[in-house]
């Protein structure tokens, strides 16, 4: 689920930005601001999701090591 979010959220943001750019009559400066904010949100989202994935992997590894240590004793 989290790995799908890595592609899904930035993809939806990109599609939304393209559609807004194509079908609205916004001033140029506002379009530039929307693209900058969109890219920042996409990058922050990807970073947060990657951190969650890595933390979950570390927790699973620690649990496996704890079970291994208990079985050795």
pLDDT single digits (tens) 16-62: 999 999 999 999 999 999 999 999 999 999 999 999 999 999 999 99
Pairwise CA distance, residues 27 & 20, whole Å: 12
Q: Which helix (H) or strand (E) holds 17?
A: helix 2-23
pTM for the full model?
0.79
């Amino acid at each position: 689920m989290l790995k799908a979010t890595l592609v899904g959220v930035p993809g939806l943001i990109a599609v939304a930005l393209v559609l807004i750019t194509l079908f609205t009559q916004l001033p140029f400066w506002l379009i530039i601001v929307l693209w900058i904010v969109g890219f920042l949100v996409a990058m922050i989202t990807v970073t947060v999701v990657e951190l969650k994935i890595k933390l979950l992997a570390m927790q699973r590894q620690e649990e496996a090591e704890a079970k291994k240590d208990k079985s050795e004793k």
